[in-house]
Amino acid sequence: MGPNPEKVRRTLELLATLTRKGRIEWEKYRSPRRRITTSVTARGNSERFSTSLADATVHVYSKDDDGHHPYIVEIYDDSGELTLHVSSEFGEGAIFTAIENLYETVYESATNIDPFLDSLIQQLEAEDE
């Protein structure tokens, strides 16, 4: 018997919501288990992300390290044991959507692309005058 799907969905949604609000910070990391081959995609370089909370560490990444579906979310307890592993690979519905939304939110937060885009827009608008 696996975890309660509603609790999994709610956990993923709260992680995304708190990330959007700036209450959870994510860092890029490399998996110690295998060498990551980074490919350039429409999104840019694929990344793996991690955050540490009081009683848990959460990892979010693309299974194929290409920045695209399927996405993986792993939650480790405070002793470092893997307690939850969910994937968008075979899912659909609410949990699938929650995993995708979390990956996209974490990617945007951790890569901090908005300040770069703001600067680029200012430069381009100045050239357009």
pLDDT digits (tens, 9 = 90+) for 53-75: 999 999 999 998 888 889 999 99
Please state, in angstroms and rounded to a whole number, the distance separating the CA atoms of residues 56 and 114. Answer: 28
Identify the residue whose tokens are 């996209």.
Answer: 104
Please state, in angstroms and rounded to a whole number, the distance separating the CA atoms of residues 119 and 41. Answer: 22
**What's the pLDDT score for residue 46?**
60
**What's the pLDDT score for residue 31?**
62
**What's the pLDDT score for residue 82?**
97
**What's the pLDDT score for residue 15?**
98
Tokens of 25: 């910070």
C-beta neighbour count of 45 within 10 angstroms: 14
**What's the pLDDT score for residue 34?**
46
* Full residue range of the structural domain in which residue 50 is found: 5-128
**What's the pLDDT score for residue 32?**
57
Output the CA torsion 15→18→19→20 (10° steps).
Answer: 130
Is 116 in a helix, a strand, or coil?
helix
Rounded to 5 degrees, φ, ψ at 2 are -90, -175
Low-confidence ranges of the chain (pLDDT < 50): 34-45
Domain count, the chain: 1
**What's the pLDDT score for residue 35?**
42
- H or E segment to which residue 74 belongs: strand 71-77
C-beta neighbour count of 50 within 10 angstroms: 19
